Structure 1
Amino acid sequence: MTKIQYRKANVDGFNVFYRQAGRADAPALLLLHGFPSAGHMFRELIPALSDRFRVVAPDLPGFGQSDMPSRDKFSYTFAALAGVIERFTEVIGLVRFAIYAFDYGAPTGFRMAVRRPERITAIISQNGNAYEEGLSDGWNPIRAYWQNPSEANRAALRAFLSPETTIWQYTHGVADTSLVSPDGYSLDNYYLARPGADDVQLDLFGDYKSNFAMYPEFQAYFREHKPPVLAVWGKNDPFFLPAGAKAFKRDIPGAEVRFFDTGHFALETHCQEIALAIRDFLPRAK
């Protein structure tokens, strides 16, 4: 079994923590996590893939073990997250790589693909949305903040940061919640409880409207470059609907779409099935 390394990379003065496993010369796969998690969400997927791929899972800026500078020193926008992660790939020597895009990892990775399409070999979207029809009504409180960024609307979003909501995100839509380890959501809640983390996340909620605005650009990239796409989707996700997975086929007819009877954090219950799908898909992605 390949050992997992835990490292930090200095990205122009910004420390990005990452997990890495696999041979340096193997095909590379960049794992991009979502809210409110970090690279630890891939703790079971990495060893399931590292015999065949070089697997790298960074913590996004402000998440996990990566730096979380104050908001007056770093702008918590998705453009800024993508900029840091793009430089991170250059610093650690990733030249061409596939992307596993989950939740926040999708707009981060899709921005990188739009900017440098020649670097992206394939995309695995696990509940990583790029289509308006993929957004559920669960986004309505955040949409209200986009339309009117008042203090009242911002304060209303703090409910998304509660420990109970984190647990709900992990367990909603899961038939047997005994399969969901408490380790993941407990660690996420620890990170969310750090001083200043709440306003970092509220800033990103507000900036998510920039991702929505970029959906047409993401879709144009899909149509023009036709990257191989595998959508592996927890079909009971309360935020990103199955329609968002099916929509990839509109722009990339050859996209592969697979649904699993689980929720948002599909790896918590279906890691083995998703790993097998990736092992089948990536060698065929040319």
Structure 2
Amino acid sequence: MLLQKLKIVLIPSNASEVKRYAIPHIIWVTTVLFLLASVVLLGWLIWQFKHKIVDSQQIATLTKENAILEQKTDEFGKQMASLTTTMNEYQNYTERIRRISDILSAYGADSLRIPPVDLPDENLLIDRLDDLLATTQQQKIRLQEIINSLENYPEIWDHTPSIRPTTGISVGPGFEEIRDPFTGKLRMHEGLDISAPTGTPIVATADGEVTFVGQLERYGWVVELDHRHGYETAYGHCSVVRVKEGEKVKRGQVIALVGNSGRSIGPHLHYEVRVNGEKVDPMKYILD
């Protein structure tokens, strides 16, 4: 059947000559197949177009959601950074309050009428950042109240070691048992070592009087101060001494320069605090 020709007969309405056309089978078969292929192709294109529209909408939605997520992540990161800073600040203030309270206990804190310090449990995580910020601010206020109370007793405050004796970084060892790098034997390191370049100023940590300037085998050039009320401080490994015995000094006054004298493996300050003749941890008397 498909191998036969397709015949088309045209009969005019005016009864004129009838026209007959014979179309070879290859042509009309090809035409039919072409039309079918066109319909299939058109359907496929329509299907693809619809899916592309859906995909584009999904991509636009995902892009928007991703932008919102990135914004929230960025905000969360900033909040966490702020939270970390605030927590460090909070811990610093509570530590400073504790150190000042330790100093006050030597004089009878009750007689100074210090406002009570109600510290929260540091192991509890504060849920809201605003609450943490408010708590830190309260600690700042209470710390300032304690400092203000001390300032009402200048005889105590001015003669109590309370600042860093030099700039630089605290390096090991601290106030602890160590193995002596020169003898290899265990001994108590009764002070604080602060590493700093040679020539860095060393200041008095409280008002007092110079009671000793000289060289010692272990600590090289040393300056010792008597601050009264049982407080004494010592500054070792100096390169230059700027005061003399019997001289009165004020807190923050330069008394010497950092050096490497004595038994030392590098320029640093060896700082000691003594209370009633007993050497104590100097970190308890650094409040700045």
Which TM bucket (shorter chain)? under 0.3
- Give the number of the structure whose residues are more often strand, by fraction: 2
Kindly name which structure, 1 or 2, has the bigger radius of gyration based on alpha carbons: 2
TM-score relative to the length of structure 1: 0.24
Structure with more relative contact order (C-alpha pairs < 8 Å, separation 6 or more): 1
What's the TM-score, normalizing by structure 2?
Answer: 0.23
Give 1 or 2: higher helix fraction.
1
